[in-house]
Structure 1
Amino acid sequence: MSITFLGPLSSGGEKLPFYSFQVPAGFPSPAADHIEKHISLDELFNIRAPHVYLVKIEGDSMQGAGIYGGDLVIVDRSVYAEHGDIVIAALNSEPICKRLHMRQHEVILMSENPKYPARHVMEGDELLIWGLVKYSVRSHEKT
């Protein structure tokens, strides 16, 4: 698995309508009178904050967590990583996206796909946590 840093968004942003009802996966008929307010996705996900950035995921090692190759993840570098968090990190200068497991003095970077083994952080390894994955965005467009 590899990742591509996309960085922060440029200034600006369009506000989109937010409907106040839940949409079933059938044949909804949204009407203009159900619009509660207009929201901005960058405001909703706090993307414009200086400590938040976007990363494009490549590979399938995190599919069990719902993160697939081609997905964009929204990463917050201002939050301290804890056991169970999904992180963007560098292990010995290799950028990765994994679930962080910390037990006593042991640190393990876990894939969410049984095809990939856990990566134990050993003495002498360099692990840098670049941020926590807060959200993921996936395109459902046919390619």
Structure 2
Amino acid sequence: MSKVTLIKPKTSRVDLPFYESKVPAGFPSPATEYLGDTLDLNDYLINNKTATFFAKVEGDSMMGAGILEGDLLVIDRSKPPKHNSIVVAVVDNEFTVKRLCTEDGIELRPENPAYQPIKLTGELEMQIWGVVTSIVRKL
């Protein structure tokens, strides 16, 4: 099961050079030497600063959604969770990241066939903490 560890975001701004030319993933093209504007990853990844937090992923239950162990999730608490959203939830006092399904009741589904969905029943206590909006991964 994939678990998450909460990380408190810092509020400092870091403007990095942003090359406006696209980088082809196919055949190489001649390099352009035009530097565009700057890019702050906070502006790029965070829509609502006061409602956003980060969490580090532990486990492999979401690998089918491209979420791997060690990834950093950007989670927005102001975004309403919808059917098929990837969410961070607290289930019986433990954080987890799963896909929210609301078709036939409420269910948290992993994206790895080795794991079973978590069905919301009267026996489980669940709270949605926020919707995952981005993934940050070091190579």
TM-score (norm 1): 0.88
Report SS of the residue matched to 1:60. coil
The gaps in structure 2 that reach 5 residues or longer are none
Aligned to 1:137: 136
**1:49 matched to which residue of 2?**
49
> 2:5 aligns to what?
4
Instruction: Quote the Cα distance in structure 1 between the aligned partners of 2:99 and 2:48.
Output: 25
Q: Deviations over 1:87-118 (max 9, x none)?
A: 000011121000000025x1111000011011
Moved more, 63-72 or 48-57: 48-57
* 1:48 Cα deviation from its structure 2 partner: 7.3
Match of 1:80 in 2: 80
Is the Cα contact below 8 Å between 1:54 and 1:75 reproduced in 2? yes
Q: Is the 8 A contact 1:47 1:53 kept in 2?
A: no
| 8 A Cα contact 1:89 1:127, kept in partner | yes
Larger proportion of strand: 1
The answer to whether the 8 Å contact 1:47/1:74 transfers is no
Relative to structure 1, the CA distance from residue 28 to residue 12 in structure 2 (aligned partners, 3 Å threshold; closer, same or farther) is farther
| Aligned structure 1 segments of 4 or more residues deviating by more than 6 angstroms | none
Name the counterpart of 1:109: 108
1:43 shift after superposition: 1.1
- Secondary structure at 1:80 match in 2: coil
Question: How far, CA to CA, are the matches of 1:50 and 1:134 in structure 2?
Answer: 15
* 1:31 Cα deviation from its structure 2 partner: 3.9
Aligned partners of 2:124, 2:29: CA distance in 1, in Å? Answer: 53
Partners of 1:81 and 1:88 in 2: how far apart?
A: 10
TM-score (norm: length of structure 2): 0.90
